[in-house]
Amino acid sequence: MSLLLSGIGVSRGIAIGKAHLMRGSVEVVESAIPTHLLDDEISRFLRAVDDARSQLHALREHIPSGTSVDIASFIETHLLMLNDATLCNTPAELIRELHCNAEWALKLQRDAVVSVFEAMEDPYLRTRREDVDHVVNRILRNLLGRDQRDSGMPALKDTVVLADDLTPAEAVLLEHQGIAAFATESGGPLSHTAILSRSMEIPAVVGVHGVQQYLHDGELVILDGLQGVLIADPDEQTLALYRQRQQAEWQRRAELACIAEQPAITLDAVPVNLQANIELPEDVNASGFDNASGVGLYRTEFLFMNRAIPPGEEEQFDCYRAVIDALNGKPLTIRTLDIGADKQVDGRHGRTCSNPALGLRAIRLCLKDQPLFRTQLRAILRASSHGPVRIMIPMLSTTHELHQTLTLLNETRNALQREGYAFAPDVEIGGMIEVPAAALTAAEFSTHLDFLSIGTNDLIQYTLAIDRVDDEVNYLYDPLHPAVLRLIKMTIDAGNQAGIPVAMCGEMAGDPRYTRLLLGMGLTEFSMHHTSLSEVKNVINQSDISKLKPLVDELLNNTRAGHIPARIDSLNSNLTE
Ligand code: PEP
Ligand code: MG
């Protein structure tokens, strides 16, 4: 009998394939090893560690170019752990000492290491704890002869992978193995893995509770990444329906690829500025990037991740310059460091606090660690002499922070001038509006800034008081909440009144379901992952702002429960894909 499970669709597309259950944790039982077999048992353990190393080396080699540096670093960290005596030698000693099997010795050592991490509440070290588990599970699966997780087995091709959770590195590898789609028990639409699934165009659903409990290995599954559903053991009629939808989806993608060359312009002739979000310099070389008129958000924090020492001025300068060169005259909006909260770079800033998202993050951290900030500002300003650059400040909540930043920028310009460095004198300075306080006072920010960019990922998190990476409260994450819409509208209006451009660079900007709503609200600059550009352009080119505006005004004036989603559906009703 067929079974339907729902979750959160995070990457659009329909997949039909055999289920592949990927169990994260492995059950371990203790058994006694006689003295004369201890050497064999130790060799078995060391072989499993060796295999784990080879798998990770293979994994590293197969990472497609353009994949985030943090994913490669993830693998490096695991390799370092595999070479460390803690996980490599101690279990071997335990086998000899306790006369126990390799699995049990490894489990004992894992528990000992993890209890040390658990005693420290530091969020960064908690992440390291998860790394220990990933490495231990890899060795265990080798010991038990069932490492199907990422051994490159063709069996994974075209399967729908069902996991408790997936790391970004695992998602990359699975894509390489040709999986059709994946679903996970936990996770949210803004997790790195979810963002990655969209950029790799793998249909994905997260937060599907019971996905590993109710579905069986090998059974036929339909996954709909738009609706966020999984249907196991579908009947003939359902199967036929989804096959049709799958064909339509493929057709839609092919058509979308054709509009890459067309300009983004509404039916009433309003040109719309479509830009791309990037995390790494290589992202500008991705296919589909041509659709973008420039970079609306360069998340520079990825350059600072997984390293003990932050990049110096020269390294940053080289990096920013490489992006400017690759953009060949298209403008680059460099966001200053947004670290802290869920984006820790190393133990240094990973201090324990009860509400990291409300703590020392982004501009707050930069203003506190001025040498760090000045180095970045120097590098950006110097790079500005090589092409069009704009600077964008994240997480502003008071104009005092903005004034401090502007003062620092002036001091940096003066210092560069004294030292004889070239820089563009007119670099535009913009602010991200992603804290409700900033949206409510956007008019005041606008008088001191050259542009605004709305960061809906954080704006929604802070407005609705929901942690954007906590899957328990994902169901509350609602871009259409009237409070969120009012803050967005206020920001757009404030920018328009001050005569400065307003863009949006949160995930909402790349979701074609909201394009007409945002156009009707007066937004004409969007920045998103390059894979969403065609879809959003497709909607823009079929939209008439003069007709949308009164409808959206009416929608915003009447926000009673259930009204908004229905109105959005009707706004989008005549769209062709
Ligand atoms: C946002 O908050 O919407 C945003 C674009 O920034 P980030 O997702 O990097 O916090
Ligand atoms: Mg943000």
pLDDT at 473: 84
Q: Is the CB of 338 under 6 A from ligand 1?
A: yes
Pocket mutation for ligand 1, best pick of 305, 393, 432, 529 (most atoms within 8 Å of C-beta): 432
Q: Is the CB of 339 under 6 A from ligand 1?
A: no
* Own/partner pairs, 88-97, CB within 8 angstroms, 24+ separation: 88/46, 88/49, 91/45, 92/42, 92/45, 92/46, 95/33, 95/38, 95/41, 95/42, 95/45, 96/38, 96/42
Q: Which ligand is nearest to the CA of 506?
A: 1
Pick the most confident of 6-15, 25-34, 371-380, 530-539: 371-380
Backbone angles phi, psi at 299, to 5 degrees: -80, 90
C-alpha span between 536 and 274 (Å, rounded): 9
pLDDT at 147: 46
Q: Which ligand is nearest to the CA of 342?
A: 1
Q: Comparing 13-27, 149-163, 228-242, 535-549, which segment has the lowest mean pLDDT?
A: 149-163
Tokens of 534: 């065609």
Residues labelled as active-site residues: 192, 505
Q: Is the CB of 471 under 6 A from ligand 1?
A: no
Pocket mutation for ligand 1, best pick of 458, 461, 532 (most atoms within 8 Å of C-beta): 458
Q: Write the residue with the smallest CA distance to atom 6 of ligand 1.
A: 455
C-alpha span between 483 and 170 (Å, rounded): 37
Domain with CATH 3.20.20.60 in the chain: 266-571
**Residue 341: which of 458, 430, 433, 456 has the closest Cα?**
458
Domain with CATH 1.10.274.10 in the chain: 35-145
Q: Comparing 31-40, 119-128, 167-176, 544-553, which segment has the lowest mean pLDDT?
A: 119-128
Residue 343, pLDDT > 70, answer no
Q: Write the residue with the smallest CA distance to atom 8 of ligand 1.
A: 457
pLDDT at 449: 98
What is the 3-class SS of 325-359, one letter each residue? HHHCCCCEEEECCCCECCECCCCCCCCCCCCHHHC
Whether 396 and 431 have beta carbons less than 8 Å apart is answered as yes
User: What CATH architecture applies to the domain 3-23+150-240?
Assistant: 3-Layer(bba) Sandwich (3.50)
Pick the most confident of 15-29, 202-216, 318-332: 318-332
For residue 283, what pLDDT band results from cuts at 50, 70 and 90?
A: confident
Residue 485, pLDDT > 80, answer yes
Backbone angles phi, psi at 353, to 5 degrees: -150, 155
Please name the residues in contact with 120: beta carbons below 8 A apart, sequence gap of 6 or more: none
Q: Is the CB of 434 under 6 A from ligand 1?
A: yes
How far, in Å, is the centroid of ligand 1 from the Cα of 433?
Answer: 10
Q: What is the mean pLDDT of the chain?
A: 88
Please indicate whether residue 315 or residue 346 has the higher confidence score (pLDDT): 315
Whether 525 and 509 have beta carbons less than 8 Å apart is answered as no
Stretch 390-400: mean pLDDT, rounded? 98
What percentage of residues in the chain have a pLDDT greater than 70?
A: 90
Please name the residues in contact with 238: beta carbons below 8 A apart, sequence gap of 6 or more: 2, 222, 231
Stretch 130-144: mean pLDDT, rounded? 81
Q: Write the residue with the smallest CA distance to atom 5 of ligand 1.
A: 506
C-alpha span between 447 and 465 (Å, rounded): 28
How far, in Å, is the centroid of ligand 1 from the Cα of 216?
Answer: 37
C-alpha span between 512 and 500 (Å, rounded): 25
How far, in Å, is the centroid of ligand 2 from the Cα of 269?
Answer: 32
pLDDT tens, 192-235? 688 778 877 899 999 898 888 889 889 999 999 999 999 999 99
pLDDT at 256: 81
C-alpha span between 133 and 111 (Å, rounded): 10
Stretch 417-432: mean pLDDT, rounded? 98
DSSP 102-146: HHHHHHHHHHHHHHHHHHS--HHHHHHHHHHHHHHHHHHHHHTT-
How far, in Å, is the centroid of ligand 1 from the Cα of 60?
Answer: 28
Residue 480, pLDDT > 60, answer yes
C-alpha span between 179 and 474 (Å, rounded): 26
Residue 150, pLDDT > 90, answer no
Pocket mutation for ligand 1, best pick of 338, 502, 504 (most atoms within 8 Å of C-beta): 338
Please name the residues in contact with 446: beta carbons below 8 A apart, sequence gap of 6 or more: 452, 494, 495, 497, 498, 500
How far, in Å, is the centroid of ligand 1 from the Cα of 297?
Answer: 9
Q: Is the CB of 457 under 6 A from ligand 1?
A: yes
Residue 420, pLDDT > 90, answer yes
Residue owning tokens 């550009």: 533
Q: Is the CB of 361 under 6 A from ligand 1?
A: no
pLDDT tens, 61-115? 766 555 555 566 677 778 888 888 888 889 999 999 999 999 999 999 998 888 8
C-alpha span between 39 and 185 (Å, rounded): 40
pLDDT at 137: 80
Backbone angles phi, psi at 96, to 5 degrees: -70, -40
> What one-letter code names the amino acid at 403?
H
User: What CATH architecture applies to the domain 266-571?
Assistant: Alpha-Beta Barrel (3.20)
pLDDT at 281: 86
How far, in Å, is the centroid of ligand 1 from the Cα of 253?
Answer: 27
C-alpha span between 382 and 399 (Å, rounded): 26
Q: Write the residue with the smallest CA distance to atom 9 of ligand 1.
A: 299
Q: Is the CB of 506 under 6 A from ligand 1?
A: yes
pLDDT at 153: 43
Nearest-atom index, ligand 1, CA of 299: 9
Whether 8 and 189 have beta carbons less than 8 Å apart is answered as yes
How far, in Å, is the centroid of ligand 1 from the Cα of 455?
Answer: 5
pLDDT at 166: 84
What is the 3-class SS of 207-244, one letter each residue? CCCCHHHHCCCCCEEEEECCCCEEEECCCHHHHHHHHH
Q: Is 81 helix (H, G, I), strand (E, B) or coil?
A: helix
Domain with CATH 3.50.30.10 in the chain: 3-23+150-240
Please name the residues in contact with 158: beta carbons below 8 A apart, sequence gap of 6 or more: 17, 18, 178, 179, 180
Nearest-atom index, ligand 1, CA of 461: 2
User: What CATH architecture applies to the domain 35-145?
Assistant: Orthogonal Bundle (1.10)
Q: Which ligand is nearest to the CA of 335?
A: 1
Q: Which ligand is nearest to the CA of 192?
A: 1
Q: Is the CB of 395 under 6 A from ligand 1?
A: no
pLDDT at 115: 82
pLDDT tens, 528-541? 988 889 999 999 99
> What one-letter code names the amino acid at 504?
M
pLDDT at 148: 45
C-alpha span between 164 and 408 (Å, rounded): 46
Pocket mutation for ligand 1, best pick of 435, 505, 514 (most atoms within 8 Å of C-beta): 505
Residue 387, pLDDT > 70, answer yes
Residue 145, pLDDT > 80, answer no
Q: Write the residue with the smallest CA distance to atom 1 of ligand 1.
A: 455
How far, in Å, is the centroid of ligand 2 from the Cα of 440?
Answer: 17
